[in-house]
Amino acid sequence: MKRTGNEKEIMRKVLRYIRKHLLLVSLSILFAAFVVGLTLYLPILQGRAIDKIVDKGQVDLTGLISILAIICGTTLLTALLQWLQNIINNRITYRVVKTLRDDAFRKIQTLPLSYLDAHPAGDIVSRVIADADQFSDGLLMGFTQLFSGVLTILGTLVFMFSISWQVALLVVVLTPVSLFVAKYIAEHTYKHFRKQSEIRGQQTALIDEMIAGQKVVQAYSQQDAVQERFDAINQDLQKSSLKAVFFSSLTNPVTRFVNALVYAASGTLGAFLVIKGQISVGQLSSVLSYANQYSKPFNEISSVVTELQNAIACAGRLLDLIDLDSEKADPASPAVVESFTGKVDMNGVSFSYLPERPLIQDFNLHVKPGQKIAIVGPTGCGKTTLINLLMRFYDVNQGDILVEDTSIYDMGRDNLRSGFGMVLQDTWIKEASAKENISMGRPGATDQEIIAAAKAAHADEFIRRLPQGYDTILHDSSDLSQGQKQLLCIARVMLSLPPMLILDEATSSIDTRTELLIQQSFDSLTKGRTSFVVAHRLSTIRTADLILVMKDGNIIETGTHETLLQAGGFYSQLYNSQFAES
Amino acid sequence: MKRLAPYIKPYRKECVIAPLLKCMEALMDLFVPLVMADLVDIGIRGNNPSYIWRVSLILFALALAGLGFSVIAQWFAAKAATGFASGLRRDTFRHIQSLSFQSADKLGTDTLITRLTADINQTQNGINMGLRLLLRSPFIVFGAMIMAFRVDVPSAWIFAVTIPVLAIIVYGIMWITIPLYKKVQQELDQVVKGTRENLTGVRVIRAFRLQEKEKMSFEERTELLSLAAEKVGRFSALTNPLTYVIINLATAYLLYVGAVRVEIGSLTQGQVIALLNYMAQILVELVKLANLIVTLTKAAASAGRVESVLLTETDMKDGARPFPDDSAICFDNVSFTYQGALEPSIKNLSFKAMPGETIGIIGGTGSGKTSLVNLIPRYYDATEGTITIGGEDIRSLKLSDVRSKIATVLQKSLLFRGTIRDNMHYGDQNASDEAIWKALEDAQAADFVREKPEGLSEPVEQGGRNLSGGQRQRLCIARALVRKPEILILDDSTSALDFATDARLRHAIKDLPYKPTTFIVSQRVSSIMYADRILVLDDGRLAGAGTHEELLSSCRIYQEIYDSQVKKGAGRS
């Protein structure tokens, strides 16, 4: 996976997401400005109040009370604005994260299958979930504190200089030390966070794989071996986490130390200024609380920065996903095939998953409407590859595939796929009701139509026996047998009645009695429809118009059952071995 | 949280030292207002420059000591937190691995993964922050109050009022937000499901052109998540403004009381400033405490979820007896119902398999074939009746023994990332390459493995995606044979093989020198017709048992199956 370069670039992309909430961002900035202004005004008021309390018998109570009234008023206003600002920031953050997740999800929908087939699902899930979460935590903190931090610094400068330029100057000169320290630590922390994030990704991938394959792990009592691998990664993670956590937690004490120095220096200088009579004690108190507040935003900013470092590292991983190349876009003005008769031609098609291992070479196939094409051959000979090409899950390297005399590369993918119905070897059940699972290919189908399709696929019987019948929520790990899942997948196709069919070992886990019934339904379904069937059952193949016998990615024989048997080649060998048991 | 306590125990030292040092650091902070009060009252009012210099030195020393304490504390806190998380992750993973199929099914893959990753991270963060601030913040709050009382008792009473009010606000908000955070987590789980589902079902989704619909349903889920998060945010965003109001009103009151006290000469100006500073310190700490509480709330919720995984006891009790020499298997009136299922999958089943026999199992979809063979290695326990091996109830046998003598090839052929050799080592970790090749030969997998550029070292991707279904199945069989099991179970695991390969495979298994008792579950008559005994299942019941010939003449269902495949399918010349 390519890396989105540096932090700046990631930040720029993140800002692009934030820009969509310009109105809220402006409001937030406005409120932040007011909050900061009012908060900063408070020490002045308190300083004035202190100057009303000089010594025994030198207290101006009436003057004090009017100042206290103003203090109470500003406090209430500040709190209100602060609350509103927080709510706005929450909204911006959660919206941005939502958009990021939605974009990532949208990207998943358009990623080439070659990418998805080659990358562990766990890693992608960890980006969309964990990284997005970490990012939102960081963004929230960053948002709330970054603006206010910067504004506080500026505001404090103004107020401080208005009281005593000497102390103000001292503070300004010393503060870069704090900045420098914060920056130094942040830089060193980022590296550790990125490392931690990477090891975490590895661990999540392992967890994902092993928990999904737990039954096998247990069946072979490999828990200890797996645990060993887990422990190794886990220890690496512990080490890198310790560094990331420790170094990032240094920011706080170190900057606080610098701030304490600034405070001590300003206190000393201020005290001499009071003795000289240049400022009052109240003003010293104000200026000292500014010296405190002046360093606080740096403190906050530096902790925000470390949090943002982490958030940016996570955003980087998420954006890497979003910025991946999508599969080749559909043509701008696609050729539209309105109705499919089922004519398919493959001209000189070459294809391989890996350039160094050629698979299909210069392959030609001409299918007339309504023909049934059976693909047979020893396992692993590249039969499913044809399906990947026909459905445009993968694109050919050379040659062309035509449907209705139109190149499938000139058509929109959806247009092409609307012509095909597909039942794959790996059944997939969506977490939804049985009804929704069947009506997937034709949303809006009536209940009667759904039930009719289920009946045709012989799925009706077991669906009815589910706890809530057709409304039972199913999921991939639910108690359905592999065969039942396949029946359900067949029902999907039964309902959508596409003009062309792709059946990939559709019946491999269904008992032959049921299969026989399905076969009858399929026969009526495939009548007048072009169908591509990858199957090992000779009974399925016998009725095919054309049999492609594949070996090592190549079509080595073509013909009908009879002609192929007569030819006495590879096919007849395969066929005769069916009951070759002695 | 009892179940999690042992993981923090090894770091007891760190857990004591870190907060103590943080308190030492806090103590340094608490001295500052007193020093500053003297600066005003003695240094300034007394016009004493040398005193002012002394004060600045003291301030410097306090800051340096604070830094030292804090850095060491952070190290111990980080060490304890990451060590805790690491140990917890290790054992949670181990625990998950030890769960029975039934228990793991119940919890679900997605949940388990989130618990192991996000939840444990959150817990680690909570411990780290907790060690650093949980003691320190209250220490400063109460320390500031005590210091205030030492300065002037009548003025300090406002501290005693302010602190409980603040505590009520902070805890009240916490009380409101905890259940809301749970809701957020639930919504997040939905988003996880949506993502994962779309990754595993990508082909079907694209084939049915469901991308738009899926996007919409995902966006609905993220919308719900966002709304839930914003709702919590509205409450938790109250903490800071409310505490700010309370503190400043208290400060105003303090100024008023202070003024009255100064007027009568019971208090100095410097002391009033010190009191104000203590009030300010309380505010700073309360803001931290509020943030800490959010972190800890999240962490506690996460810790609770991790704990619930650890508390999920596997519903399978281990036995103590060794695996018997005689491996005859006997089912006696066995019934089995999946947890939560309405009907039993296996009903009153009895049969016997002698050592070295081949047992074929055939029957319709959902007739209980897989359920039956899953009972033999104790993937699930029978709900009624007993299963014995060599006359001993399998529940009395040591589970690891049972599993190591039995090799199952599951219906879903699943391989792991690594090399082909790595995958074979799942069967037997000490298997030599020679032994692996032998198993591959028997499993009819040797030819294609030999053709791979790197042979046994050929990489396998997650789930074996870079191999075809048939190759995966044969590798899974080879993995089982590597182990040289006493009992071999093939659960419909040759469905993707062509007939010739399937036949050669059956031959090879028959000729295995160690003569395993073999169970073959299949849909194909051809795969099981030469078995010593065939069990015909129908809706969980035994509809017939015997040899091919016996069943052909006596079992109606078997005849039907045979006819559907052989008569129509073969029509051999």
Tell me the per-residue pLDDT of B290-340, one tens digit each, with 9 for 90 and over: 778 878 888 998 999 999 989 888 777 888 888 888 889 999 999 998 876
- Please give the angle made by the CA atoms of B544, B550 and B556, to the nearest 5 degrees: 50
Of B55-69, B144-158, B277-291, B395-409, where does mean pLDDT reach its minimum? Answer: B277-291
Say what the pLDDT of residue A582 is. Answer: 30
B101: closest CA of chain A, how far (Å): 7
The mean pLDDT value for B174-193 works out to 88
Q: How far apart are CA B7 and CA A220, in angstroms?
A: 29
Select the residue of B74, B199, B429 nearest A250 (Cβ to Cβ).
Answer: B74
pLDDT in tens, B536-547: 998 888 989 999
Query: Regarding predicted confidence, which is higher, A139 or B57?
Result: B57
Which of B62, B111, B185, B208 to mutate to probe the A interface, most A CBs <10 Å?
Answer: B208
The mean pLDDT value for A61-75 works out to 94
Say what the pLDDT of residue A381 is. Answer: 62
Is residue B289 a part of any domain in this protein?
yes
- B265: tokens are 């000469």
Q: Are residues B273 and B421 in the same domain?
A: no
Binned at pLDDT 50, 70 and 90, residue A576 comes out as low
List, in sequence order, the alpha helices (H) in A276-368: 281-322
A421: closest CA of chain B, how far (Å): 7
In chain B, what residues touch A489 (CB-CB under 8 Å)? 204
User: In the 8-state DSSP scheme, what is residue A165?
Assistant: H
**CA atoms in the 13 A half-sphere facing the CB of A415:** 19
The mean pLDDT value for B192-213 works out to 85
Q: Are residues B101 and B174 in the same domain?
A: yes
Which of A21, A58, A105 to mutate to probe the B interface, most B CBs <10 Å?
Answer: A105
Select the residue of B44, B63, B118 nearest A257 (Cβ to Cβ).
Answer: B63
In chain B, what residues touch A253 (CB-CB under 8 Å)? 25, 66-67, 70-71, 74
In chain B, what residues touch A577 (CB-CB under 8 Å)? 498-500, 503
| The model scores a pTM over 0.80 | no
B338: closest CA of chain A, how far (Å): 8
Nearest CA in chain B to A250: B71
Helix axes A281-322, A223-275, angle to 10 degrees: 150
- The answer to whether residue A447 scores a pLDDT higher than 60 is yes
Cβ distance A368 to A374 under 8 Å?
Answer: no
**What average pLDDT is seen over chain B?**
88
Q: Are residues B303 and B358 in the same domain?
A: no
Say what the pLDDT of residue A509 is. Answer: 56
Which of B47, B186, B255, B444 to mutate to probe the A interface, most A CBs <10 Å?
Answer: B255
Q: How far apart are CA B458 and CA B445, in angstroms?
A: 13
A64 with B526: Cβ contact below 8 A: no
Closest CA to B4 of B331, B302, B401: B302
Q: Which helix (H) or strand (E) holds A59?
A: none
Query: Regarding predicted confidence, which is higher, B57 or A338?
Result: B57
Q: What is the 3-state secondary structure (H, E, C) of B255-275?
A: HHHHHHHHHCCCCCHHHHHHH
- The answer to whether residue A554 scores a pLDDT higher than 80 is no
- The answer to whether residue B567 scores a pLDDT higher than 60 is no
Nearest CA in chain B to A94: B226
Give chain B's count of helices (H) and strands (E): 22, 12
- The answer to whether residue A384 scores a pLDDT higher than 80 is no
- The answer to whether residue B214 scores a pLDDT higher than 80 is yes
- The answer to whether residue A544 scores a pLDDT higher than 90 is no
- The answer to whether residue B252 scores a pLDDT higher than 70 is yes
pLDDT in tens, A273-299: 999 999 999 999 898 888 877 767 776
- B225: tokens are 């998540």
pLDDT in tens, B100-125: 888 887 788 888 888 998 899 999 99
Residue type, B522: S
B56 with A265: Cβ contact below 8 A: yes
Number of domains within chain B? 2
Q: Are residues B345 and B300 in the same domain?
A: no
Cβ burial of A380 (10 Å; 0-12, 13-18, 19+) is: buried
Q: Give the SS3 label for residue B555.
A: coil
Closest CA to A165 of A81, A273, A46: A273
- B447: tokens are 């030819």
- The answer to whether residue A579 scores a pLDDT higher than 60 is no
Is residue B42 a part of any domain in this protein?
yes
Q: Are residues B48 and B142 in the same domain?
A: yes
Q: Which helix (H) or strand (E) holds B165?
A: helix B153-200
Q: Please state whether beta strands A372-376 and A530-534 pair in parallel, antiparallel, or not at all (unpaired).
A: parallel
Query: How is A482-530 classified by DSSP, letter by letter?
Result: HHHHHHHHHHHHHHH--SEEEEESTTTTS-HHHHHHHHHHHHHHHTTSE
The mean pLDDT value for B506-512 works out to 90
A17: closest CA of chain B, how far (Å): 16
The mean pLDDT value for B145-155 works out to 92
Q: How far apart are CA B269 and CA B267, in angstroms?
A: 7
Is residue B100 a part of any domain in this protein?
yes
Which of B107, B117, B131 to mutate to probe the A interface, most A CBs <10 Å?
Answer: B117
Identical topology for domains A7-322 and A344-576: no
Residue type, A474: L
The mean pLDDT value for B394-417 works out to 86
Q: Are residues B72 and B218 in the same domain?
A: yes
Say what the pLDDT of residue A539 is. Answer: 64
Residue B409 pairs with which residues in a beta bridge? Answer: B490
Binned at pLDDT 50, 70 and 90, residue A239 comes out as very high
CATH of the domain at B47: 1.20.1560.10
Q: Are residues B32 and B72 in the same domain?
A: yes
Cβ distance B151 to B275 under 8 Å?
Answer: yes
- The percentage of residues in chain B with a pLDDT greater than 90, rounded to a whole number, is 49
Is residue B86 a part of any domain in this protein?
yes
Cβ–Cβ contacts within 10 Å for residue B452, how many? Answer: 16
A462 with B366: Cβ contact below 8 A: yes
Say what the pLDDT of residue A520 is. Answer: 67
By residue range, what is the domain housing residue B284?
2-311
In chain B, what residues touch A76 (CB-CB under 8 Å)? 245
B239: closest CA of chain A, how far (Å): 9
CA-to-CA separations, A462 to A283, A434, A485, B167, B543, in angstroms, rounded: 84, 11, 10, 59, 20
B474: closest CA of chain A, how far (Å): 10
Q: How far apart are CA B308 and CA A322, in angstroms?
A: 35
Q: Are residues B204 and B348 in the same domain?
A: no
A113 with B202: Cβ contact below 8 A: yes
Query: Regarding predicted confidence, which is higher, B474 or A133?
Result: B474
Nearest CA in chain A to B538: A511
Q: How far apart are CA B147 and CA B144, in angstroms?
A: 5
In chain A, what residues touch B503 (CB-CB under 8 Å)? 577-581
The mean pLDDT value for B453-479 works out to 88
Q: How far apart are CA A556 and CA B521, in angstroms?
A: 33
Say what the pLDDT of residue A518 is. Answer: 67
In chain B, what residues touch A223 (CB-CB under 8 Å)? 94, 97-98
Q: Are residues B304 and B186 in the same domain?
A: yes
- The answer to whether residue A533 scores a pLDDT higher than 90 is no
Select the residue of B425, B496, B507 nearest A505 (Cβ to Cβ).
Answer: B496
Binned at pLDDT 50, 70 and 90, residue A380 comes out as low
Is residue B316 a part of any domain in this protein?
no
Binned at pLDDT 50, 70 and 90, residue B375 comes out as very high
- Please give the angle made by the CA atoms of B387, B389 and B395, to the nearest 5 degrees: 55
Binned at pLDDT 50, 70 and 90, residue B570 comes out as very low
pLDDT in tens, B20-37: 999 999 999 999 999 999
Say what the pLDDT of residue A514 is. Answer: 66
Q: How far apart are CA A97 and CA A317, in angstroms?
A: 14
Cβ burial of B225 (10 Å; 0-12, 13-18, 19+) is: buried
- B57: tokens are 């030195």
The mean pLDDT value for A78-84 works out to 94
**What average pLDDT is seen over chain A?**
84
Handedness of CA A292, A298, A302, A307 (dihedral sign): positive
Say what the pLDDT of residue A505 is. Answer: 57
B199 with A443: Cβ contact below 8 A: no
- Please give the angle made by the CA atoms of B67, B73 and B75, to the nearest 5 degrees: 105
Cβ–Cβ contacts within 10 Å for residue A172, how many? Answer: 16
A253 with B70: Cβ contact below 8 A: yes
- B561: tokens are 């199956």
Q: Report the CATH number of the A344-576 domain.
A: 3.40.50.300
Cβ–Cβ contacts within 10 Å for residue B572, how many? Answer: 10
Q: Report the CATH number of the A7-322 domain.
A: 1.20.1560.10
Cβ burial of B31 (10 Å; 0-12, 13-18, 19+) is: middle
The mean pLDDT value for A175-188 works out to 79
Binned at pLDDT 50, 70 and 90, residue A536 comes out as low
Domain extents in chain A: 7-322, 344-576
Is residue B400 a part of any domain in this protein?
yes
Q: Are residues B131 and B259 in the same domain?
A: yes
Binned at pLDDT 50, 70 and 90, residue B571 comes out as very low
Binned at pLDDT 50, 70 and 90, residue B200 comes out as confident
Nearest CA in chain B to A476: B197
Residues of chain A by 3-state class (helix, strand, coil), percent to 5: 65, 10, 25
CB within 8 A of A26, min separation 6: which ones? none
Q: What is the phi/psi pair of residue B355, to 5°?
A: -55, 135
B117 with A285: Cβ contact below 8 A: no
A50 with B272: Cβ contact below 8 A: yes
Q: Which helix (H) or strand (E) holds A326?
A: none
Say what the pLDDT of residue B508 is. Answer: 92
pLDDT in tens, B408-425: 888 887 888 889 999 998
Is residue B503 a part of any domain in this protein?
yes
- The answer to whether residue B12 scores a pLDDT higher than 90 is yes
Binned at pLDDT 50, 70 and 90, residue A538 comes out as low
Is residue B186 a part of any domain in this protein?
yes
- The percentage of residues in chain A with a pLDDT greater than 70, rounded to a whole number, is 90
Nearest CA in chain A to B345: A479
Say what the pLDDT of residue A165 is. Answer: 92
Which of A512, A513, A522, A539 to mutate to probe the B interface, most B CBs <10 Å?
Answer: A512
